[in-house]
């Protein structure tokens, strides 16, 4: 009985295996495949549409943040003013960071550099030049 099973099943398995060469190439394909990762084209194809989409997405993110803040009992944000501020920072507009944001960023980096200097002093290492280190960090961050 086992001999008959082996004689019938082994040749059948070999035939099916030889016939399945193209099956492995098709794995992962189909309508939900990510092989073609080209971005979908917009219906109008204009710049204003992408600007409107960006503003709508920004508004969604700010509204979600506002919801989380309210859920924690923190003061809510003015969604419109936050969206306007974030859209003003859009690199597609050619605008750069406003001077007060740049000053805030510089002050935040200064705080981190001073803290790093304190740790270096505690280890017995020489301190860094604070202004030079701030400039280096901002350059590396692309700000």
DSSP 71-125: HTTPPPP-HHHHHHHHHHT-GGGT----HHHHHHHHHHHHHHHHHHHHHHHHHTP
105 and 85: one domain?
no
> Looking at 77, 95, 113, which one is the last position of a domain?
95
pLDDT of residue 104: 84
Look at residue 118 and tell me if it is in a domain: yes
pLDDT in the model for residue 41: 56
Residue 127 pLDDT > 80: yes
The pTM of this model reads 0.36
Average pLDDT over the chain reads: 80
Q: What is the DSSP letter of 70?
A: H
Asked whether residue 52 is assigned to any structural domain, the reply reads yes
Q: Residue 28: pLDDT above 60? A: yes
- The C-alpha angle 62, 64, 68, rounded to 5 degrees, equals 115
Full domain range(s) for residue 54: 48-95
Cα–Cα distance for residue pair 137/107, rounded to 1 Å: 12
Same domain, yes or no, for 117 and 138?
yes
pLDDT of residue 39: 62
Q: Can you tell me the mean pLDDT for 66-85? A: 89
Q: And the tokens for 140?
A: 């590396």
In a domain, 35, yes or no: no
d(CA 67, CA 65): 5
Q: How many domains does the chain have?
A: 2
Same-domain check for residues 101 and 141: yes
Q: Is 63 within the bounds of a domain?
A: yes
DSSP label of 107: H
Residue 78 and residue 115 in one domain: no
Asked whether residue 10 is domain-assigned, the answer is no
Please check whether residues 84 and 111 belong to one and the same domain: no
Q: What is the mean pLDDT of residues 53-63?
A: 90
Q: Provide φ and ψ at 15, rounded to 5°.
A: -65, -45
| Averaged pLDDT for residues 14-27 | 78
Phi, psi at residue 25, to the nearest 5°?
Answer: -70, -25
Q: Which of 63, 78, 95 is the last residue of a domain?
A: 95
Q: Give me the mean pLDDT over the 68-73 stretch.
A: 91
């Amino acid at each position: 009985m086992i001999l008959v099973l082996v004689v019938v099943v082994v040749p059948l398995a070999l035939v099916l295996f030889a016939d399945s060469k193209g099956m492995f190439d098709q794995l992962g394909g189909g309508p939900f495949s990510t092989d073609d990762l080209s971005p979908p084209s917009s219906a109008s194809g204009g710049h204003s549409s992408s600007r409107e989409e960006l503003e709508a997405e920004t508004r969604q993110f700010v509204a979600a943040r506002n919801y989380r803040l309210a859920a924690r009992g923190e003061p809510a944000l003015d969604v419109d003013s936050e969206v306007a501020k974030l859209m003003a920072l859009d690199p597609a507009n050619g605008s750069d960071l406003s001077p007060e944001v740049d000053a805030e960023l510089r002050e935040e980096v200064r705080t981190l550099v001073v803290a790093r200097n304190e740790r270096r002093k505690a280890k017995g290492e020489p301190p860094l030049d604070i202004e030079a280190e701030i400039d280096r960090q901002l350059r590396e961050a692309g700000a």
